[in-house]
A and B are shown apart, each in its own frame.
Chain A
Amino acid sequence: MQERVPPLLISVLCIGIAILYLPILVLIAYSFNASALVSVWGGFSTSWYAQLLHNDQILDAAWLSLKIGVVVSTGSVILGTLAAISLVRFRLFRGRLLLTGMVNAPLVMPEIITGITQLLLFVSMLNLFGWPHRGFTTIVIAHIAFCTAYVTITVQSRLQGADRSLEEAAMDLGSGPVRAFLDTTLPGIAPALASSWLLSFTLSLDDLVISSFVSGPGASTLPMVIFSKVKLGVSPDVNALASLIICLVGACILLAGYLMRRADQQRLADAQMAEQNT
């Protein structure tokens, strides 16, 4: 079924990929520029990276973003997995349509709307109950709300493809449904859980708009600090910081992709084994 791909298509594909990658590669190259002038190449240097280590504002923001990222991705993997189980295993329940809508809507909802509505909720809650104060807590809650959507969709597709015969066998052998699920199906979807953890982490680490709305005084995440610097134009220390973040995010995505791919291959191999044995 494989035929030659027309050269015109190949060239459009190459142009598209070049458009996607050229700016990032140039950015990384210039982060090693010794010159303080961003447009003149002054030789190779890592001094901008070294300077980052002495910038307290950036270090504080980075630490805050990492803490938020870890809590957010753990929370969203738990909630997203429960939502995925609900949607795949329980065909009919009250509010199924509502849950489907709430899981899909954050993927297309402009961040600026989500951000403003969540802030108004938090402010009103603070007024009524004295909780939550704007900062770490509100950013975490807001991020979990949209990361859960991504986790649910990833885990949902895995659960739909999961073979339930093992789980049923475990139940025939006397395991309760929860135990059977934890022993048989959960290990099967574990790579999907790990990769959605990594994806949520990168989403949380990257978010600017929602964080800016729901954050309070004194809690600036890394993207918020970068945004305030970037508004002033291109500068070499931001180049270095941006390169670091892009590499970290890239590593997370590659690892997530690798985990999913390995799980696919494992499943394919298992299926072949099963076929040979019968």
Chain B
Amino acid sequence: MIGGSVTSAGTESRDAHGRNWLKPHGKWLIILPPMLFLLLFFLIPFAFALTISFADTAVRVPPFTDILSITPDWHIHVTLNLGNFKYLFTDEVYGLSYLYSIKTAFFSTLICLGLGYPMAYAIARTSKSTQSVLLLIIILPFWTSFLLRVYALEGIIRETGLLNSALLWLGVIDHPLQIMRTTLAVYLGIIYSYLPFMVLPLFATLEKLDHSLLEAAADLGSPPWRTFVDVTLPLSMPGVIAGSMLVFIPAIGEFVIPTLLGGPDNLMIGRVLWDEFFGNRDWPVASAVAIVFLVLLVGPIAVYQHYSTKQMES
């Protein structure tokens, strides 16, 4: 591979432009390590979860029964237990928490979009140097721990937190508002945590917007709001969808926010899954909850993949 004939290596790479960069064996030395690692530790685990969702709980380590068993005379028994899935559909806690999670994630995504769109638009219209500073300001919380940021938010909305102190001091209210442990707190938490996920993809599409189109629309007498609805908004759709999915999908599965900020009735599916797993130690039911959840996510994830690859290509 290395040091082969000089001319052949040179012309080969130039003609094919990357298609024959390394000879076949060398190529697989590069592809296989990440491929095998991700297969084994990201994809195959889903198969295990699927299998275990058909098992039964058992008092042993690990706490579930075997699906496959081999008898001494080499007969293989497959025991599939559909009870876990049946349980999910009969006990209404699961259905309600799925619906509740979707509802919460949906409205939070809408609010993030409403707040994030003007932010991204404003950043996209500033000068290049201002842009990079503003982007850094948005990216910084994007990478900062969710846990710590949710904790920081608690410091603001607590009964004795900054918000209530300020409102009391201003005389707007005479009793502190109860925000913690309410649905409002969950919404605030999700919006606060996921806002950067909305702004960044939106900015990426709005930045590439062709300004001559906007000028053309204005020259032809289109009022600014018309230009926005007819030109800007349709052209920024890939960003709108990518950003919305980046907020919506993880928000459905959110665990930290409803646990730390929400009350007992803010039962989101992530929290149910966690309790089933760590509280009840019912791993098969937890696996079944995860599998159903994953099936529900296939649609949104496919939409996201479609639009994000589109965005990357353009």
Contact = CB atoms under 8 A, between A and B. Distances in A.
Interface of A: 1-3, 5, 8-10, 12-13, 15-17, 19-24, 26-27, 30, 38-39, 78-80, 82-83, 85-86, 88-93, 95, 98-114, 116-118, 120-121, 123-124, 127, 141-142, 144-146, 148, 152, 157, 164, 168, 171-172, 174, 176-179, 199, 202-203, 205-206, 208-209, 213, 223, 226-227, 230-231, 233-234, 238-239, 242, 245-246, 249-250, 253-254, 257, 261
B148 A39 contact: no
Interface in B174-216: 191-192, 195-196, 199, 211
Given A178-B1, A238-B151, A79 B37 contact: yes
Contacts of A239: 155
B173 interface: no
B6 A124 contact: no
A233 B154 CA distance: 8
B94 interface: no
Nearest to A213: B277
B137 interface: yes
A23 B9 CA distance: 58
A246 B141 CA distance: 9
B111 to A, nearest CB: 11
A77 to B, nearest CB: 11
Interface string B119-159: 10111011100001010111111011111110111111010
B19 A168 contact: no
Contact of B3 (A148, A176, A254, A261): A176
Question: What 10 A-B pairs come out closest when comparing CB atoms?
Answer: A110-B253, A176-B2, A117-B45, A206-B145, A39-B160, A83-B34, A23-B152, A9-B122, A121-B45, A12-B118
Contact of B136 (A203, A231, A257): A257
B43 interface: yes
B18 A164 contact: yes
6 contacts: A19-B115, A23-B153, A102-B39, A144-B41, A177-B26, A254-B136
Contacts of B297: 109-110, 113
B152 A27 contact: yes
A249 B145 contact: yes
B10 A112 contact: no
A206 B294 CA distance: 24
Interface string B1-38: 11110100110011000110110001100110111011
Nearest to B253: A110
Contact of B35 (A2, A98, A104): A98
A171 B9 CA distance: 7
B235 interface: no
Question: Mostly helix, strand, loop or mixed at chain B's interface?
Answer: helix
B95 interface: no
Given A127-B62, A206-B147, A226-B147, A234 B154 contact: yes
B256 interface: yes
A172 B118 CA distance: 51
B2 A124 contact: no
A246 B144 contact: yes
Contacts of B132: 261
A10 B126 CA distance: 10
Contacts of A164: 18
Contacts of B143: 199, 202-203, 206, 249, 253
A145 B34 contact: no
Nearest to B192: A19
Given A176-B2, A246-B148, A124 B31 contact: no
A98 B134 CA distance: 36
A179 B45 contact: no
A39 B158 CA distance: 9
Contacts of A100: 309
A177 B155 contact: no
A120 B48 contact: yes
B171 to A, nearest CB: 19
B49 interface: yes
B241 interface: no
B81 interface: no
Contacts of A39: 158, 160-161, 165
B27 A93 contact: yes
B160 A208 contact: no
B2 A177 contact: yes
A27 B161 CA distance: 11
B123 A13 contact: yes
B270 A110 contact: yes
Contacts of A209: 255-256
A262 to B, nearest CB: 12
A143 to B, nearest CB: 10
B137 A17 contact: yes
Given A12-B118, A79-B33, A95-B35, A20 B2 contact: no
Given A2-B127, A20-B141, A20-B192, 16 more contacts: A10-B122, A12-B115, A13-B118, A19-B195, A24-B141, A39-B158, A82-B33, A106-B42, A108-B245, A109-B301, A116-B290, A118-B41, A142-B41, A148-B37, A176-B9, A246-B145
